[in-house]
Structure 1
Amino acid sequence: MTQLNMIDESRYAETMERTVIPALEACREEGWFDPSEAERSAGLAPLSGTMDTGGRSGQLHYLCYDANKFDGEREEGATATFRGAIVISHGFTEFAEKYDELVWYFLLAGYSVCVMDHRGHGKSARDVDNPSLVWIDDWRRYVADLAAFAQTVGQNYANGQPLNLFCHSMGGGIGAAVLERYPTLFDRAVLSAPMIAPQTGMPMWLTRALVGTLCACGLGRHRVFGQKDFDGVLDLGPYQLSSEPRERWYHRLRCEHPEYQTYCASFEWVRQAMHMNRAVLSPAACAEVETPILLFQCGHDIWVRNQPQTEFVNRVKDGGGHAAIVHLADSEHEVFSMPNAVYGPYLERILAFFGDPVLAEVE
């Protein structure tokens, strides 16, 4: 595997604007995915969307990047060897373009990349009028959407080569559920700080009881206490260890695109996260996993709980699956937002795992 050169953080915005973004645009396809058939197959009534950021009722937005077209740009460091495709499942309040830098590195390594905005995020259909609020009626909808996207668009970009999965945070919880329900869909899976269980500031049993009561009282579409709508102010307080140039770049994208300004959770979203937690940690479900998993756990994570991640990996292994944890003691929740000293080794380990034919990382 060719060693990748990380973007110089002192010239981050300049490099993104002059090199990365033009190269991505040259190999990028923007599209829309209709999840209604997949959702019906999962026993879910399709939602039409009350707030439609993309002008396509009920459809989900995606960005895909073709490795062969990228190679035609002759970027320095590109392997020019096609290795398959990677589907990215993003985190809570995120959007496809936030992953531009990671997509760049995956393309350099020879992978096509497919990123879908989860329902209620980015340019995908939404079901609440407040553009800052994230709401979902049933966590299984996320799972059906991601699986169907991978089975169609993802497989097409893999073109007979391996189809791998990269997940972060909420997207990791969704990804874990997909791996349990569609055990042969992906060849390898990286779960980066996955939301097997969110950090709510209170015991899990109390969170379940509280949000269950509030939703029963008709407050499911209301904002969680203590959270606020997007106001355009960059707060670096929770990101003391992160790379400031990266955080400023993400914030700029949010400010420039109203559809990227999801910022807070509804009570129903939290309730569904609790339901997903129980389902994903079911020993029977964990025993269904066949895809080798590499899970990254962060020592300074304030957004998701680490112990349920460990339980998930142990239960997958108890069920006969291949799974391993890499504990990053010096990392905050978003490893891809950390300085190069943390991000670089993390990326190298991911690429080694995706490219390793003998599963050395998970033995």
Structure 2
Amino acid sequence: MVLPLIDEHRYAEEMNGKVLPALAQCRVEGWMEPAQSDDLLDPAVPGKLHYVCYDAAKFDALRINDATAVFRGAIVVSHGFTEFAAKYAEMVWYFLLAGYSVCVFEHRGHGYSARDVGNPSLVWIDDWRRYVADLAKFSDTVGKRYADGMPLNLFCHSMGGAIGIGVLEQHPTLFDKAVLSCPMVAPATGMPNWLAGVLAELFCCIGLGRHKVFGQSEFTSELNMDDHPGASEARVRWFQQQRIDDARQQTYAATFSWVCQAVRMSRAIQRPEACANIETPILMFQAGRDVWVLNEPQNRFIAAVNNSGGDATLVRFDDSLHEIFSMPNAILDPYLRRILDFFDSPELPQLM
């Protein structure tokens, strides 16, 4: 499927003048109670979780040029570490043009969802399985409602990809298809992850679980494009402005507890018996210049799923940074095409 991309040279103008006004007319905001799960030692932590949904029928009623006006189902978006729903406005726009309703869930500790630390820059979680249980509940309720009997698909990025994998392993029939964009199968911690896990556990044990990890910084309005070599400057500056304009979108650094849980989640989702549970067809994207997640564990995950009879495809963008959706149109275009073609392609019957 071919869709016209936002002009990078007029990016802010097109987003403010065309995309956001249209999204506002089909946008529904809501809050969900946290999931209850037998896997969690502690009960659900108080505080509601925030989401934003976009209705394809309301969008089609706007008669936007290039919209397919053919309802294809719904896409649940699972965002990455320190991200927020508004960051995905451009991707939501493309999904709506293609005929999908879109449901963007803000994970605990992010955006307008409940938080457990006072510092708006920090992300804390007590148990990674809480992320998985909450996303599963949201998808099985809100997501299915927006799918309205049509396919329910999953689009994940980074940390959201690790959470998504957990859902695919524990709820094999929940989604029809899943796109994992640079998923955090294993985080890049700057040291062997087993050591990062041990150190994080130690700091948690001495009462520093809610403290910022050494070497990480809190949010600042300053932006250095040297930190994003080759990315679309217009997109990166747009994302930064969203953070500047809204303190709820200024998550920026990990706590020791988050690192501890990220390493535990990584180990859990890579277990061969967990990978063997996956039935949902997967399209995974890998960035050749990724510095936030490790590529080799992604390769092993794909192999484990396929070796267990699953259907998983890996597509690598050698010249891309971690956020492929933040790259220039020359990279974003084939990336978006592969996603939409994958979601739109008919499923092949399983061989018995």
Q: What's the TM-score, normalizing by structure 1?
A: 0.94
Q: What pairs up with 1:1-363 in 2 under 5 angstroms?
A: 1=1, 3-35=2-34, 38-43=35-40, 44-48=42-46, 58-358=47-347
Query: Please, which runs of 5 or more residues in structure 2 have no aligned partner?
Result: none
For residues 264 and 105 of structure 1, the distance between their equivalents in structure 2, rounded to whole angstroms, comes to 29
Quote the offset at 1:236 in angstroms.
2.1
Secondary structure of the structure 1 residue equivalent to 2:319: strand
Quote the offset at 1:237 in angstroms.
2.6
Aligned to 1:52: none
Deviation above 3 Å: which 4+ runs of structure 1? 40-44
Quote the offset at 1:42 in angstroms.
4.0
Quote the offset at 1:148 in angstroms.
0.2
Quote the offset at 1:47 in angstroms.
1.1
Q: Percent identity?
A: 61
For residues 310 and 47 of structure 1, the distance between their equivalents in structure 2, rounded to whole angstroms, comes to 35
For residues 10 and 60 of structure 1, the distance between their equivalents in structure 2, rounded to whole angstroms, comes to 36
Residue-by-residue CA offset, 1:7-42 (whole Å, 9 max, x unaligned): 11000000000000000001000111111xx22444
8 Å contact from structure 1 (residues 70, 107) kept in 2: yes
8 Å contact from structure 1 (residues 353, 359) kept in 2: no
Residue-by-residue CA offset, 1:237-291 (whole Å, 9 max, x unaligned): 3211110000111110100000000000001100000000110000000000000
For residues 264 and 224 of structure 2, the distance between their equivalents in structure 1, rounded to whole angstroms, comes to 30
Query: Please, which runs of 5 or more residues in structure 1 have no aligned partner?
Result: 49-57
**Structure 1 residues 355 and 13, CA gap change in structure 2 (3 angstroms):** same
For residues 220 and 77 of structure 2, the distance between their equivalents in structure 1, rounded to whole angstroms, comes to 27
RMSD: 1.1
Quote the offset at 1:359 in angstroms.
5.3
